[in-house]
Amino acid sequence: MLHRRTFMLLRSTDCRVPRRLPRLALAFVLLASVGGAGAPPGPVVAAQSAQLNALIEGLQRKYSRMQGLSADFVQIYSGADGRVIREAGQLLLKRPRKARWDYASPERKLFVSDGKNVFFYVYGEKNATTSPIKETTDPQIPFLFLLGSGDLRRGFSRIEFATGEQGMGAGNQILRLFPKRAPEEFKQLLVEVAGASFEVRRMAIFERSGARMDFLLSNVRENYIAPDSQFQFAPPPGVTIKRAQ
Q: Give the pLDDT confidence of 41-85 residue by residue, as tens digits.
A: 577 778 888 999 899 888 888 888 889 999 999 999 999 999 999
Please tell me the pTM assigned to this model: 0.77
Which residues neighbour 56 within 8 Å (Cβ) at sequence distance 6 or greater?
30, 31, 32, 152, 153, 159
Q: What is the DSSP-derived secondary structure letter of residue 94?
A: E
Give the integer Cα–Cα distance in Å for 219 and 60. 21
Percent of the chain whose predicted confidence (pLDDT) is above 90: 46
Judged by average pLDDT, the poorest of 28-42, 57-71, 100-114, 161-175 is: 28-42
Give the integer Cα–Cα distance in Å for 11 and 51. 42
Give the integer Cα–Cα distance in Å for 174 and 231. 30
Q: Are 25 and 184 in contact (CB under 8 A)?
A: no
Q: Give the pLDDT confidence of 123-142 residue by residue, as tens digits.
A: 999 999 999 988 877 778 77
pLDDT of residue 201: 94
Domain at 19-35+42-243, CATH class: mainly beta
**For the residues 192-210, what does the mean pLDDT come to?**
89
Task: Return the number of other C-beta atoms located less than 10 Å from residue 82's C-beta.
Answer: 6
Q: Identify which of 165, 240, 171, 236 has the alpha carbon closest to the alpha carbon of residue 203.
A: 165
Q: Where are the domains of the chain?
A: 19-35+42-243
Burial class for 107, CB neighbours closer than 10 Å (0-12, 13-18, 19+):
middle
Given a cut of 50, whether residue 15 has pLDDT beyond it is: no
| Residue that wins the pLDDT comparison between 24 and 186 | 186
